Structure 1
Amino acid sequence: MNRLLQLLTLAAFVMLAVPACSPERGVSDLIEAETEDAVVVDAILIVDAPLPTVLVTRTVSPLAEFTQQAIAERSANIVIRREDGLAVTYQETSGSPGEYAPAGPQAPPVLPSTRYDITVTTADGRTVTGTTRTPPRFRIAQWLLLEDDAETARRQFQTFNDLGTAVYDHPDNQVVYNDGLLEARYPDEDLQFQVGILNLEEDSPLVVNPDFFSDEDLLDLERVLSSPPLLGDEGSLRLPWLAIYYEGRTLLRIHSIDENWYDLIRSTPGLDGSGGGLAFGGNAGENFERPLFRLEGGIGIFGSGSVDSVGFRILPPE
């Protein structure tokens, strides 16, 4: 998945100015002046995946040149500790500046329902710490296409566990746009979610009616979208058709997320569904003075999630 802090890195962390008369608060409105030269940590742990890379950068003045080289935090010491005592040290990669990867030949997998702590010590002696407790392993019990009555199941989708990438060509996974309702059913638990929708085609045509959009809006329609934070305590999630713009192979991911991830996206414009080109849907209905960063000594995110996904092909209306 794309890093959650992409929007923050490009907007808030370079402190872009927003006109004082603007009726909408942008990300940069929420980041106060004292966050200039703050250490930014970005790491998301996904259950059953290897421990991830960690990106460490600094916020910079809006007058400074904004490049990955300019914001990268070099020569930091990073350790992630698991609640059972396992400690994994990190080393700088030869790839993106400011990126660190677990040392050793193979990173251990992320365990469900487990506490992880991160300590980042910069070359000039600053320390950033954070804690996440990973969610339980999350699996969708049924991916369904419902009739318009929202109760009758028309059919159940084939999954990646069943067919791998062949799901996109299976008859059960051919979906006519706006015909029926898309629903995911899971064990009835009190969970927090973020949904991601990815159109995997490069140039497939629009499936929505272009008359609903201005020419400018049509240029902004994304092939990768994320939902606002969602509370799922009823055992099902329904995907709105308005979140799908294009024909072709579509990947739907549902992340069960920890408090750190949830707090960041519900408190940050553009990540909360209020705009910015990254999100669809409404926001959490809360008014925050600044993003909620659950880190000590810095800003950013050290969070975790567990994900399940399904693939299908969107067909144009008949």
Structure 2
Amino acid sequence: MKKVITAIYFTLTALLLFGCDSYDQDDYQEYVVVEGYAVAGQSLPNIRLSTTAPADDEYSFEENFIQNAIVLITLLDENGEPEEVFEYTESTEEPGIYNPLILSYQVEPLRTYKLDIVFTDRDDQISATTTVPDQVEVVNEIPESVVYQSENQLEIILAEPEKTNGQNVFVFNTISLEPAIDNLTPFYFSIIEDEEDVDISEYVRNSSGLINEGNFDPLPDGTILLRFPWIGVAFYGENLVVTLSVDENLSDVIRSQDVQLGGSTLSPGEIPNLLYNIEGGIGVFGSLSADTINTSFSRPF
């Protein structure tokens, strides 16, 4: 499970760090960048704190981390009042990364958590809240092997999830366990076949993008059916397929990042900011739940 959660962090961190903002660099203002992902059934998240950098400087967390922060996460009751407060301490080995003092507590689905950050040496005050999605549970039997691009598309049936804010939003992450050039599916092989220095590592983990309610089928028993998109398969062979239910904060970051990459749908010079849902800074304090299945994608006959 640790490998799966690491892959989730990798995907979402990429969305955060490589998004573009329309800040006026002639009037550059430094912002505190927050990054933390609460996962249902896992320990409280680590919180990463850094600062932004001017557009002409290369961003590096190791160069921009922030120390001397006081970090608290509060579990709120149904009335929005504090129920339990969790203190954090800065890592002695990784400056700028803050860890919960209590590691035994597990994040609860359908609960709301509030992040508060102040500093001993700067005036910034950061706050954000997230409501954790209901626990994702795959309930159907998954075939050991699926023929790539066959009529029998991989189907994943989830137990009926309870809604938190508005509609449920899902993301598929695929993690190849047999990454090799010879195992690349045709679409991804066509991307790299003319490259001299081939690096296939960026395709080991693939994300489907957001899957909203309009893209899945409710079944009579209350479960929901999701059909895994073939574009998510980069490698033949054994793969982990992670089904994620993401909260509103993560959905906003991913959705607004997709708009930034909208090409001709944007007016010239118009690149909207990412939606952060962080008061006093930028970044993401979000939550998700996940379940993982294992299957093999085989070559067509």
Q: TM-score, normalised by structure 1?
A: 0.74
1:69: Cα distance to partner? 2.5
Which string of whole-angstrom CA distances, capped at 9 and with x for unpartnered residues, describes residues 213-250 of structure 1?
A: 46358856611111221113632111121221212220
Aligned position for 2:158: 186
Q: 1:100 to 1:140 in 2, by over 3 A?
A: same
Instruction: State the AA in 2 paired with 1:173.
Output: E
Aligned residue for 1:6, secondary structure, equals helix
Aligned residue for 1:113, secondary structure, equals coil
Does residue 82 of structure 2 align to residue 111 of structure 1?
A: no
Q: 1:182 to 1:74 in 2, by over 3 A?
A: same
Aligned position for 1:206: 183
1:35/1:59 contact within 8 Å kept: no
Does residue 14 of structure 2 align to residue 6 of structure 1?
A: yes
Q: 1:227 to 1:95 in 2, by over 3 A?
A: farther
1:303: Cα distance to partner? 0.9
Aligned position for 1:82: 75
Which string of whole-angstrom CA distances, capped at 9 and with x for unpartnered residues, describes residues 137-163 of structure 1?
A: 221222xxxxxxxxxxxxx32xxxxxx
Cα distance in 1, alignment partners of residues 41 and 28 from structure 2: 34
Cα distance in 2, alignment partners of residues 273 and 195 from structure 1: 21
Using the aligned pairs only, state the percent identity.
24
Q: 1:267 to 1:35 in 2, by over 3 A?
A: farther
Aligned residues: 263
After TM superposition, the structure 1 = structure 2 runs for residues 94-173 of structure 1, keeping only pairs within 5 Å, are: 94-104=92-102, 106-122=103-119, 123-142=121-140, 156-157=141-142, 172-173=143-144
Which string of whole-angstrom CA distances, capped at 9 and with x for unpartnered residues, describes residues 94-119 of structure 1?
A: 33331111014x24100111110000
Aligned position for 1:240: 229
Instruction: State the AA in 1 paired with 2:9.
Output: N
1:42: Cα distance to partner? 0.6
After TM superposition, the structure 1 = structure 2 runs for residues 302-313 of structure 1, keeping only pairs within 5 Å, are: 302-313=285-296
Instruction: State the AA in 2 paired with 1:294.
Output: N
Cα distance in 2, alignment partners of residues 288 and 236 from structure 1: 35
Cα distance in 2, alignment partners of residues 49 and 132 from structure 1: 15
After TM superposition, the structure 1 = structure 2 runs for residues 18-29 of structure 1, keeping only pairs within 5 Å, are: 27-29=19-21
2:208/2:229 contact within 8 Å kept: no
Aligned position for 2:282: 299
Aligned position for 2:146: 175
Instruction: State the AA in 1 paired with 2:62.
Output: Q
Aligned residue for 2:169, secondary structure, equals strand
Does residue 195 of structure 2 align to residue 195 of structure 1?
A: no
Unaligned runs of 5+ in 1: 12-26, 143-155, 158-171, 276-282
Unaligned runs of 5+ in 2: 1-7, 78-82, 162-166, 218-223
Q: 1:82 to 1:237 in 2, by over 3 A?
A: same
Instruction: State the AA in 2 paired with 1:291.
Output: L
Aligned position for 1:279: none
Cα distance in 1, alignment partners of residues 22 and 61 from structure 2: 22
Aligned position for 1:70: 63
1:317: Cα distance to partner? 2.4
1:41: Cα distance to partner? 0.6
Instruction: State the AA in 2 paired with 1:174.
Output: S
